[in-house]
C-alpha cells in the first residue's frame, strides 16, 4: 500500500509539470467522454430488460403496445368551419409521418355523419353532431372548446425515433398556420417522456451549478485558514468531470435518480479535497514542500482511502437493486467517489509544488477564530465525557427513537407514479392531465398469451372461458377483449368448430384489426379493463388475476402472463418495499466485512456500525413525520446513510484508539478524541450539507424530497458521531479493558 503512495509522491516531487500535463490530458479525455452522455427515461429505467419480466414486457411492447400521440386542439369555439377545415388538413399532413399508422379525430366522425364530406357550414356541423352518439362525441370533444385527434403509431418504435417523430410533427404544426385563437399541442406518454427528458437536462445543469456555488460559499466560510481555498472546489469539479467522462465512455445513461448522484458526489468529494488540502497546509507549516508532498500523500492517502472505501460499501449495495436507475445511481456514486478521491490525492500536492505553496500567516482575527474553535472543541469534548460516563441511558434513548422510526418506516407510502415525480407546472404534464380528465384514465391490463396453439379451437376456447370468468367473478374487471371477440364477430357470434374454419375466418379479418390482438400465429393479447384503484388494491387485483391464470391454466404449449406498463409500475411497489431492506442489510454487511478485514476483530468492526443502524431508524421517523414517500430515489437512503456515516464514526474511533495507545484512560481518551475530531467532522458535515442542499432546489419533487432527507441525514450523522459514538466506545472500551486487549489503529492493523 505504502509503495503505491510513495511512488505518487515521488512522481509529483520529481516531475510536477509532467503530472500536471497528465491531469490536463485526462480531463480533456473526460470532457470528450462527457459529450457522449445521454439522458434516459421510460421503461428501461424501471425494469431490467434482461430479467424474465423485462423480456416479457419488451416483447409485448414490440408486438402490441402502440404509444399513441394525442393532438390537443383548443379554441374559443372548436366547431367552426375554419377550425374543422384546418384540423382535417393538419391530420392529413401528420398521417404522412414515418411510423404513423393513421390519424383519427372529430373530423372523421363528422364526415361519417355527413355522407363522407366534412361539413362546411354551422348548420351542417350542428346536424352532423346531432347524428353522432353523445358518448362517442364527448370522447373526441369533451367540450366545445377542445378537440382531440389520435395519431396511431406502429408498435415497438424506439424511443429515439419516437422523439424525432415528435420533433418533426411539432415542426409541421409550427408552420401549419392555424386560424386565430387556435392552439395545437402534442400530448400523450411519448410527449410527456420527451419533455421530462428535456426538464431533466435543465434540472441537472441547475443542480450542478447550484451545488458548485454552495460549495464556494461553504469553502469561503469554513475553510478560510488556508491559501488557495477554492482549490478544493476545482478538485471536486475535476472529479465530477471525470465521472461524466467515464459515464460517456462506458455508455452509462443519466436517469431521474442518477441526476441526484452529482450533488451527492460534490457534497462528499469536497470532504476529500478539504482533508488533503488541510493536511498539506499542516505539513507545509513544519517542513519543506517535498516533505509536505510526501507526508501528505503517504499519511493522508491511506486514511482517506479507507474512509472512501467504507463509503463505497454503502453504494455498492445499490447494485443489487431490482430497478435499473437505482443500480445506475450506485454505479455512478462509486465511480464519482473514486474519481474525487484520486483528483484530491494528486491535484493538491501537484498544485502545491507548482504554486510554491506558502501557508497563510495566522492573523489576530484568525487567532480569535481559533479561540472559538477551541471553545467548540472543549464543549463537544465535555459533552462526550458526560455521555461516556453515562452510556446506557443515552444508548437506550437513541435506540428507542430508532425502534419507533423502524416501526413507522413500514407505514411510509411507496410512490411509483412517474407523473408525481416531475414539476407540477411542466407543460406536458398539464396537457396530459387535461386529456386524462377529458378521456378518463386508462385502467387496462394486458394478458400476454404465447404458444403455437393459440389459433386452435382449444386455444381460442381457453381465452374465451378465461375472459368470461374474469368478467363474472372479478368485481374489479369491467370488460375484456381479444382476438376471440373479433373471430366471433366475423363468424356469427361463436368460435368456429374446427381449426380449418378458424383459419378461414381469420382470412376475412382486416390486418389492421387483427394486429391489435394478434402478432403472427403464436402471440396474442387479452385486454382486461379494470376500474381505477389505489396502488395496494391494484397490486392485490393483479395478484388475483395471476392466480386465476395458474388455476385455470392454458392448454399445453400455451403460456399466459400479466404484463404492461401498469403491471410494471404496480410491481415496483413490491420491489422497492423489499429492495430497500435488502440494500440496507447488504450495505451493513459490506461495511462490517470491510471493517473486520481492517481491524481483524469483530467487536471493533461492529463499534462504528451501531450508530449507523440507529441513524437509519431515525431516517424512517423523519420521513414519516415530514410525509415524504419512498420513491426509486429515497429507496437508496438506507445504503447511502451507511456509506456516509461510516466515515465520521470511524474517524472518532480511530482517534480514540490513538489516545488510548498514548496512555490515556478510557473516558479521557474518548473526550480528547471528540474534542479533537469534533470540529473537523462538524465543518466537513456542514460543507457536505451545502452540497446536498442543492438537491432541494430541484423542480423534480422526487429529487427535492431526497435532498431534504439527505440534509437531515447528515445532521443525524454528526449526532451519531459526536453523541452516540462516545457511548458505544465507552461500553466497548470497558469490555476490552477487562479483556486486556490492545488498541491498534487501522493502518497498524493492516500493516
Distance of CA 728 to the CA centre of its chain: 34
CB 724, CB 609: distance < 8 Å: no
Distance CA 429, CA 424 (A): 7
For residue 636, is it within any domain?
A: yes
Distance CA 460, CA 81 (A): 47
CA 113 to each of CA 102, 127, 149: distance values in angstroms, whole numbers, following the listed order: 20, 8, 17
For residue 258, is it within any domain?
A: yes
For residue 430, is it within any domain?
A: no
Which pLDDT score is estimated for 741? 64
Number of domain units in the chain? 3
Q: How many CB atoms lie within 10 A of CB 438?
A: 17
Co-location of 237 and 321 in the same domain: yes
Co-location of 412 and 465 in the same domain: no
Co-location of 672 and 738 in the same domain: yes
Confidence of residue 3 (pLDDT cuts 50, 70, 90): confident
Confidence of residue 742 (pLDDT cuts 50, 70, 90): low
Distance CA 520, CA 155 (A): 14
Minimum mean pLDDT range among 8-22, 51-65, 395-409: 51-65
Co-location of 317 and 182 in the same domain: no
465 contacts: CB under 8 Å, gap ≥ 6: 552
Q: How many CB atoms lie within 10 A of CB 116?
A: 7
Q: Using alpha carbons only, give the angle 38, 39, 42 rounded to the nearest 5 degrees.
A: 135
CB 707, CB 431: distance < 8 Å: no
For residue 715, is it within any domain?
A: yes
Which pLDDT score is estimated for 24? 94
Co-location of 355 and 469 in the same domain: no
Q: Parallel, antiparallel, or unpaired: how do β-strands 100-105 and 146-153 relate?
A: antiparallel
- Name the helix (H) or strand (E) containing 700: none
What's the mean pLDDT in 373-399? Answer: 84
Choosing from 133, 157, 187, the residue where a domain stops is: 187
Q: How many CB atoms lie within 10 A of CB 92?
A: 11
Minimum mean pLDDT range among 27-41, 288-302, 309-323, 369-383: 369-383
What's the mean pLDDT in 243-269? Answer: 85
pTM of the model: 0.77
Distance CA 66, CA 101 (A): 10
Q: Where are the beta strands (DSSP E) in 375-497?
A: 444-450, 477-481
Distance CA 643, CA 633 (A): 16
CB 238, CB 24: distance < 8 Å: no
Percent of the chain with pLDDT over 90: 20
Choosing from 187, 219, 235, the residue where a domain stops is: 187
- Name the helix (H) or strand (E) containing 160: helix 159-174
pLDDT in tens, 13-54: 999 999 999 999 999 999 999 999 888 777 778 887 778 888
Average pLDDT in the chain? 84
Which pLDDT score is estimated for 30? 94
What's the mean pLDDT in 400-419? Answer: 87
For residue 133, is it within any domain?
A: yes
Q: How many residues does the chain have?
A: 751
Which pLDDT score is estimated for 335? 94
pLDDT in tens, 559-587: 999 888 777 877 788 888 888 888 888 88
Could you tell me which residues are beta bridge partners of residue 661?
none
Which pLDDT score is estimated for 363? 56
CB 63, CB 156: distance < 8 Å: yes
For residue 28, is it within any domain?
A: yes
Co-location of 543 and 609 in the same domain: no
Co-location of 207 and 182 in the same domain: no
Higher pLDDT, 554 or 746: 554
Distance CA 109, CA 453 (A): 39
Buried b (16+ CB within 10 A) or exposed e, 314-341: bbbbbbebbbbbbbbbbbbbbbbbbbbb
Q: How many CB atoms lie within 10 A of CB 558?
A: 20
Co-location of 134 and 227 in the same domain: no
What's the mean pLDDT in 363-377? Answer: 57
Q: How many CB atoms lie within 10 A of CB 285?
A: 12
Minimum mean pLDDT range among 115-119, 212-216, 298-302, 502-506: 212-216
**Among residues 258, 333, 242, which one has the least CA distance to residue 32?**
242
Phi, psi angles (nearest 5°) of residue 631: -130, 175
For residue 516, is it within any domain?
A: yes
Co-location of 545 and 589 in the same domain: no
Choosing from 187, 205, 225, the residue where a domain stops is: 187
Co-location of 31 and 84 in the same domain: no
Distance CA 81, CA 120 (A): 5
CA 85 to each of CA 70, 105, 132: distance values in angstroms, whole numbers, following the listed order: 18, 12, 19
Co-location of 388 and 290 in the same domain: yes
- Give the burial class of 171: count Cβ atoms within 10 A of its Cβ; 0-12 exposed, 13-18 middle, 19 or more buried: exposed
CB 304, CB 312: distance < 8 Å: no
Q: Which domain holds residue 513?
A: 452-557
pLDDT tops 70 at residue 440: no
Distance CA 303, CA 654 (A): 10
Q: Using alpha carbons only, give the angle 41, 43, 48 rounded to the nearest 5 degrees.
A: 115
Could you tell me which residues are beta bridge partners of residue 145?
none
Residue listed under C-alpha cell 479521557:
668
Domain holding 111: CATH number?
3.30.70
pLDDT tops 70 at residue 187: yes
CB 568, CB 632: distance < 8 Å: no
What's the mean pLDDT in 243-268? Answer: 85
Could you tell me which residues are beta bridge partners of residue 184?
73
Q: What is the DSSP letter of 359?
A: P
What's the mean pLDDT in 632-636? Answer: 84
Phi, psi angles (nearest 5°) of residue 741: -85, 155
Distance CA 160, CA 148 (A): 25
**Among residues 306, 246, 244, which one has the least CA distance to residue 275?**
306
- Give the burial class of 514: count Cβ atoms within 10 A of its Cβ; 0-12 exposed, 13-18 middle, 19 or more buried: middle
Confidence of residue 439 (pLDDT cuts 50, 70, 90): low
CB 418, CB 569: distance < 8 Å: yes
For residue 58, is it within any domain?
A: no
Domain holding 611: CATH number?
1.20.1640.10
Co-location of 267 and 363 in the same domain: yes
User: What does the block give as the cell for 174?
Assistant: 409550427
Distance CA 536, CA 534 (A): 6
Residue 546: helix, strand or coil by DSSP? helix
Amino acid at each position: 500500500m505504502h509503495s503505491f503512495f510513495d511512488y505518487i509522491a515521488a512522481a509529483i516531487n520529481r516531475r510536477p509539470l509532467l503530472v500536471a500535463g497528465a491531469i490536463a490530458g485526462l480531463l480533456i479525455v473526460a470532457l470528450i467522454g462527457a459529450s457522449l452522455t445521454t439522458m434516459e427515461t421510460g421503461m428501461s429505467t424501471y425494469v431490467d430488460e434482461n430479467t424474465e419480466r423485462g423480456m416479457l414486457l419488451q416483447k409485448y411492447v414490440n408486438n402490441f403496445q402502440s404509444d399513441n400521440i394525442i393532438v390537443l386542439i383548443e379554441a374559443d369555439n372548436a366547431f367552426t368551419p375554419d377550425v374543422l377545415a384546418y384540423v382535417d388538413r393538419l391530420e392529413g399532413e401528420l398521417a404522412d409521418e414515418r411510423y404513423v399508422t393513421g390519424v383519427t379525430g372529430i373530423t372523421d366522425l363528422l364526415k361519417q355523419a355527413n355522407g363522407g364530406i366534412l361539413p362546411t357550414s354551422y348548420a351542417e356541423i350542428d346536424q352532423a353532431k346531432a347524428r353522432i352518439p353523445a358518448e362517442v362525441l364527448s370522447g373526441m370533444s369533451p367540450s366545445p372548446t377542445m378537440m382531440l385527434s389520435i395519431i396511431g403509431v406502429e408498435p415497438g418504435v424506439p424511443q429515439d425515433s419516437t422523439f424525432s417523430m415528435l420533433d418533426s410533427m411539432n415542426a409541421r404544426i409550427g408552420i401549419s398556420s392555424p386560424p386565430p385563437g387556435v392552439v395545437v399541442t402534442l400530448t400523450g406518454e411519448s410527449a410527456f417522456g420527451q419533455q421530462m427528458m428535456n426538464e431533466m437536462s435543465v434540472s441537472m445543469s441547475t443542480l450542478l451549478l447550484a451545488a458548485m456555488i454552495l460549495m464556494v460559499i461553504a469553502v469561503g466560510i469554513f475553510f478560510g485558514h488556508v491559501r488557495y481555498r477554492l482549490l478544493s472546489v476545482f478538485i471536486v469539479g475535476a472529479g465530477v468531470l471525470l465521472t461524466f467522462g467515464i459515464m460517456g465512455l462506458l455508455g452509462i445513461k443519466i436517469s431521474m435518480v442518477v441526476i441526484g448522484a452529482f450533488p451527492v458526489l460534490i457534497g462528499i468529494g469536497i470532504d476529500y479535497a478539504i482533508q488533503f488540502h488541510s493536511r498539506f497546509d499542516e505539513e507545509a507549516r513544519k517542513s519543506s514542500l517535498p516533505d509536505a508532498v510526501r507526508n501528505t500523500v503517504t499519511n493522508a492517502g491511506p486514511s482517506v482511502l479507507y474512509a472512501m472505501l467504507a463509503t463505497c460499501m454503502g453504494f455498492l449495495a445499490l447494485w443489487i437493486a431490482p430497478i435499473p436507475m437505482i443500480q445506475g445511481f450506485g454505479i455512478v456514486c462509486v465511480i464519482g467517489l473514486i474519481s474525487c478521491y484520486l483528483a484530491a490525492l494528486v491535484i493538491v500536492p501537484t498544485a502545491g509544488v507548482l504554486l510554491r505553496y506558502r501557508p497563510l500567516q495566522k492573523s489576530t482575527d484568525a487567532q480569535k477564530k481559533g479561540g472559538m474553535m477551541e471553545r467548540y472543541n472543549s464543549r463537544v469534548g465535555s459533552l462526550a465525557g458526560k455521555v461516556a460516563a453515562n452510556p446506557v441511558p443515552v444508548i437506550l434513548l437513541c435506540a428507542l427513537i430508532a425502534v419507533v422510526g423502524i416501526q413507522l418506516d413500514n407505514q411510509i407510502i411507496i410512490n411509483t407514479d412517474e407523473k408525481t415525480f416531475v414539476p407540477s407546472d411542466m407543460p406536458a404534464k398539464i396537457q396530459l392531465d387535461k386529456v386524462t380528465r377529458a378521456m378518463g384514465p386508462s385502467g387496462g391490463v394486458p394478458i400476454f398469451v404465447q404458444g403455437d396453439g393459440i389459433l386452435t379451437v382449444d386455444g381460442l376456447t381457453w381465452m374465451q372461458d378465461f375472459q368470461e370468468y374474469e368478467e363474472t367473478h372479478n368485481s374489479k374487471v369491467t370488460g375484456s377483449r381479444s382476438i376471440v371477440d373479433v373471430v366471433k364477430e366475423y363468424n356469427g357470434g361463436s368460435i368456429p368448430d374446427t381449426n380449418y374454419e378458424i383459419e378461414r375466418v381469420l382470412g376475412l379479418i382486416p390486418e389492421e384489426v387483427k394486429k391489435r390482438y394478434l402478432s403472427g400465429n403464436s402471440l396474442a393479447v387479452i385486454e382486461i379493463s379494470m376500474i381505477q384503484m389505489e396502488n395496494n388494491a391494484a397490486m392485490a387485483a393483479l395478484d388475483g388475476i395471476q392466480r386465476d391464470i395458474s388455476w385455470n391454466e392454458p392448454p399445453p404449449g400455451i403460456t399466459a402472463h400479466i404484463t404492461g406498463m401498469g403491471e410494471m409500475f404496480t410491481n415496483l411497489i413490491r420491489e422497492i418495499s423489499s429492495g430497500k431492506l435488502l440494500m440496507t442489510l447488504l450495505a451493513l454487511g459490506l461495511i462490517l466485512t470491510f471493517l473486520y478485514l481492517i481491524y481483524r476483530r469483530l467487536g471493533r468492526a461492529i463499534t462504528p456500525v451501531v450508530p449507523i443502524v440507529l441513524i437509519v431508524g431515525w431516517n424512517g421517523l423523519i420521513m414519516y413525520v415530514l410525509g415524504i414517500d419512498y420513491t426509486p430515489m429515497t429507496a437508496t437512503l438506507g445504503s447511502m446513510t451507511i456509506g456516509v456515516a461510516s466515515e465520521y464514526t470511524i474517524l472518532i474511533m480511530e482517534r480514540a484508539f490513538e489516545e488510548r495507545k498514548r496512555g490515556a484512560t478510557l473516558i479521557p481518551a474518548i473526550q480528547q478524541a471528540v474534542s479533537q475530531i469534533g470540529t473537523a467532522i462538524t465543518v466537513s458535515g456542514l460543507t457536505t450539507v451545502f452540497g446536498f442542499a442543492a438537491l432541494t432546489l430541484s423542480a423534480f419533487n422526487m429529487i427535492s424530497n431526497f435532498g431534504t432527507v439527505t440534509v437531515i441525514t447528515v445532521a443525524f450523522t454528526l449526532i451519531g458521531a459526536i453523541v452516540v459514538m462516545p457511548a458505544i466506545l465507552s461500553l466497548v472500551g470497558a469490555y476490552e479493558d477487562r479483556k486486556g486487549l490492545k488498541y491498534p489503529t487501522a493502518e497498524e492493523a493492516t500493516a
